[in-house]
Chains A and B, each alone.
Chain A
Amino acid sequence: MQLDQRTVGDVVIVTIRGEITLNKGGDVVLKDKVRSLVQQGYKKALIDLGDVPYVDSAGLGELTQAYVSMKNGGGTLKLVRVTKRLKDLLAITKLVTVFESYDTEAAALASFGAAGV
């Protein structure tokens, strides 16, 4: 699993590539990343999941924990380019009611009302 980070206006976009699973250690990497974003004071985070073929339950737990960490830090975390598989998983676990997710980055940025877009 690889993480790339960039900012558009005041929104930090984290692009994840590869599986987010317990076995591949991806869950821990994500946790550390979000923790550092919160510490750096980011309030608007967008996680791009377009290149994530698989998320297991541990990975889903970390995504949710990331959401909670961001929220507790006074910010919001949204998802973009969620794969069909993850959409199903979010639906089953009913976490679809928690995460705001968008099909395109432009739509997601617009929802943040991102400055400088």
Chain B
Amino acid sequence: MVAPEGVAPRLLVTDVLGRRFIALDKAVLTLGRRSESDVRVADAGVSRQHAEIHVKDSVCLIRDCGSKLGTYVNGERRAEHVLTHGDHIRLGENTDTSIVFLLGDDAPSQENSAIAAATELRHMAGLLEGLRALGSSRVLEDVLALVLDAAIDVTGAERGFIMLANDQQRLEFKLARVRGRVTPAGATFDTSRKIPETVYATGKAAFVDDLLDDAMSVQHAGTVALGIRHVLCTPLMLVQFVERREERAEPRIIGVLYLDSREKGTLRSAATRGALDMLSSEAAVAIENARLYREALERAKLEQELKVAAAIQQSLLPPGGRKGEFFTAAGSSVPCRAVGGDFFDYVDLPGGQFGFILGDVAGKGSPAALLAAAVLGMFSAEAGYQAHAASVLARLNHGLFRRRVEARFVTTFYAMLAPDGTLTYTNGGHNPPVLVTRDGIRRLETGGLVLGLFEGATFEEETVRLTPGDYVMAFSDGVTEAMNESGDEYGDDRLLAALAGHAGASPQGLLEAVVADVRGFCGHALAHDDVTAVIVRYDG
């Protein structure tokens, strides 16, 4: 027989672990040192089976079970006593545990606890803001601890843990707490995953009255050994607030809250469950916010790493300009993301020639940047030992093919300029550079396939004679394929017009003019490719 909620007789037990209610909802309730006791008092002065409370027709009778040190009600030793509202029960000489019999609804109720929990959550929200302000990366752990402590206080459970679902929808153990706001040693509870997983899968709270009766009792052996018999496990439901009404906001289960106790306590009462439902939905929001906050921190860290990578990449490229006895060079590379796949480099060759290379790795971002760095490394290792431009590209192709990154290729242009004005170049699938001479403009197309895809690819080279003032401009397709807001491309014609419009300017001046022209053309359109160019003029 169950008395109506609110007037049910119950015990208010207060001990070193805190305060909890124990409903008198069965015929006989046991008190004692034994771990199976409904009210367990762990004290050497308390007998294993100390006393019993018999409940019949709303009458509660406490009876001493022949205990060594006796059972006291309101300070008087009693063999038997009919309990009335407000009676204080003491087992033996034990004064660490206060047990008060309550009847009626003037006692502190679970509803009040629920309000206290809600207040606590508001404090939690404030604390979360504070932690954010401090930039703490432990926000999630702190929020989990607060949620667990609040849940333990509300339910009178002895310990609890939270599991959260990962990206693969698998529950991961996050944090455990025991009464008294303590994080226990050890990574997890020795308990079966069965209960949390069922709750996660069904979205329905589970209450296990007695693990010993449960079909899974063998799996709970570790828990039962601790005297823990009663489990309440509830889903953490995230109710999403959406701005647009047409998007349906399905509550999402982000994890489970698991509580267990040696005593049935109030884990079972409807009021506790109501309070816990409220707590868990508030908690889900707080946990999700903490998680989002941590992700934001991690992103910020990643961005910082990218900034470092970008600085390293720029340091791999030569300083933009170079002035030699017979030439002037200018170069620049602006990645569209933090790092890019374009590269260029200069090299002074043993024969007195000046070598320059410019290339583009297919793709963008970090993978392309890594491959570009590898190409630059190979180039500086090979360039000084190869007499022919074509053999430099053949070596680079070989090296890239060997370190094969599937479907990634490199287009590149390499040229060697001699003091007498002889320019020998080869083009591995790169958009043809422009050679501007007094006689006009031509494109430098001789060469071979893109690098890195075909083993044993060979390259042709061409030699042209420059006269002082002639220059070569090599560039990545980010220059000619730069787009404006209407989706038009900058294109070769605009590039040639920009060069013609600045005839006579120094290589650096020409480079700046072209880059400015490309920027002006694009307007507010976002750059979608890296922009790299090198201009080398023969000075005689």
Chain A residues in the interface with B (C-beta under 8 A): 22, 27, 31, 57-58, 60-62, 64-65, 68, 92-95, 97-98
Contact = CB atoms under 8 A, between A and B. Distances in A.
Interface string B443-456: 00001111001100
Contacts of A92: 411, 429-432
A94 B450 contact: yes
Contact of B409 (A22, A31, A61, A97): A61
B407 A61 contact: yes
Counting chain A CB atoms within 10 Å of each CB, which of B363, B364, B407, B450 scores highest? B407
Contacts of A27: 407
Interface of B: 360, 362-364, 406-409, 411, 428-432, 447-450, 453-454, 477
A57 B449 contact: no
A99 B432 CA distance: 20
Most chain A CB within a 10 A radius of its CB, from B364, B431, B448, B453 = B453
B184 to A, nearest CB: 46
Nearest to A62: B407
Given A57-B360, A57-B363, A92-B432, A65 B406 contact: yes
A79 B101 CA distance: 88
Contact of A22 (B364, B430, B453, B454): B364
Contacts of A93: 409, 411, 429-430, 449-450
Contact of A64 (B363, B430, B453): B453
Given A65-B406, A98-B454, A58 B431 contact: no
B300 to A, nearest CB: 24
B198 to A, nearest CB: 37
B450 A68 contact: no
**Chain A CB within 10 A, most for which of B364, B406, B428, B450:** B450
B429 A64 contact: no
A95 B408 CA distance: 14
A61 B449 contact: no
A77 to B, nearest CB: 14
A27 B364 CA distance: 13
A60 B362 contact: yes
Q: Which 10 A-B pairs have the closest CB atoms?
A: A93-B429, A65-B407, A57-B362, A61-B407, A61-B362, A93-B450, A58-B363, A94-B449, A94-B429, A92-B431
B246 to A, nearest CB: 26
Given A64-B450, A93-B450, A98-B449, 12 more contacts: A27-B407, A57-B362, A58-B362, A58-B363, A61-B363, A61-B408, A64-B407, A64-B453, A65-B407, A93-B409, A93-B430, A95-B450
Contacts of B453: 61, 64-65, 68
10 contacts: A22-B363, A27-B407, A57-B362, A57-B363, A92-B431, A93-B409, A93-B449, A94-B449, A95-B429, A97-B449
Nearest to B481: A56
A61 B429 CA distance: 12
Nearest to B409: A61
A94 B448 contact: yes
Contacts of A58: 362-363, 407
A97 B430 CA distance: 14
Nearest to B431: A92
Contacts of B406: 65
A1 to B, nearest CB: 15
A27 B431 CA distance: 22
